C-alpha cells in the first residue's frame, strides 16, 4: 500500500472542478484517506515548492498557488504515486495524454489544475507538510 499527496489547485477550485476530479480518483479505486481545504500564504506555498525555489517560474507559481483556496488530499492505493501522476497527465496540458485531467481541464503549463507527488520521498515530505498522523484515516 502506498500514499501520495494530491492537490486541486486554485484554478480547479474556482472553475468548479472539485467534484469531477474526486470522481476520477474514486472511479480508479483509489481511497482518499485525508482531505482539507486551505488558502495558502506565501510562506506555506514557498516551503511546499522549495525544490523549485531557483526556477524562473517560481514567483509566478507562488502567486498562482496563493491566489485562492485549494483542496489537499492524501490518496492511498497500491502504486498510487504513479497512478495519480498518470491520471493527472504531463505538467504541460498541451503535452498531456488525451483523457487526463490536465489535458482536459488545464489552462497552461502553470495553471494545470492538479498536483501529485513525484516519488516516495516527496510523498512523505508533502503529506507531512499538510497533515498530522491523526488527520488521516485508515
| Binding stretches for ligand UDP (CB under 6 A) | 52, 57, 61, 91, 109-110, 112, 115, 118
Q: How far is the CB of 1 from ligand UDP (least distance, A)?
A: 22
Q: Kindly report the backbone phi and psi dihedral angles of residue 19, in degrees, each rounded to the nearest multiple of 5, phi listed first.
A: -60, -45
Q: Which of residues 106-125 bind Mg ion (CB under 5 A)?
A: 118
User: Which alpha helices (H) appear in the chain, and where do they start and end?
Assistant: 10-14, 18-27, 42-48, 58-65, 80-88, 101-105, 120-130
Q: Rounded distance, CA 114 to CA 85, Å? A: 10
Distance of alpha carbon 52 from the chain centroid: 15
Per the annotation, the verdict on 115 as an active-site residue is yes
| Total of residues contacting Mg ion (CB under 5 A) | 1
57 binds, among ligand UDP, Mg ion, none (CB under 5 to 8 A by kind): ligand UDP
Q: How far is the CB of 97 from ligand UDP (least distance, A)?
A: 13
Please state the closest distance from residue 19 (CB atom) to ligand UDP, in A.
Answer: 21
61 alpha carbon, distance to own chain's centre: 13
Cα separation of 78 and 40, whole Å?
29
- Among candidate residues 115, 123, 126, 127, the one labeled active-site is 115
Residues with a catalytic annotation lie at 115
Site residues (vs Mg ion, CB under 5 A) = 118
Amino acid at each position: 500500500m502506498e500514499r501520495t499527496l494530491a492537490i486541486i489547485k486554485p484554478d480547479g477550485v474556482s472553475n468548479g472542478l472539485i467534484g469531477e476530479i474526486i470522481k476520477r480518483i474514486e472511479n480508479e479505486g483509489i481511497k482518499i484517506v485525508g482531505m482539507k481545504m486551505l488558502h495558502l500564504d506565501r510562506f506555506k506555498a514557498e516551503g511546499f515548492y522549495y525544490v523549485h525555489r531557483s526556477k524562473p517560474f517560481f514567483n509566478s507559481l507562488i502567486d498562482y498557488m496563493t491566489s485562492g483556496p485549494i483542496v489537499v488530499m492524501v490518496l492511498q492505493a497500491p502504486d498510487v504515486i504513479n497512478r495519480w501522476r498518470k491520471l493527472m497527465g504531463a505538467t504541460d496540458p498541451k503535452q498531456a495524454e488525451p483523457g487526463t485531467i490536465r489535458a482536459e481541464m488545464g489552462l497552461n503549463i502553470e495553471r494545470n489544475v492538479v498536483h501529485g507527488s513525484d516519488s516516495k520521498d516527496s510523498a512523505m515530505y508533502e503529506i507531512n507538510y499538510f497533515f498530522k498522523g491523526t488527520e488521516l484515516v485508515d
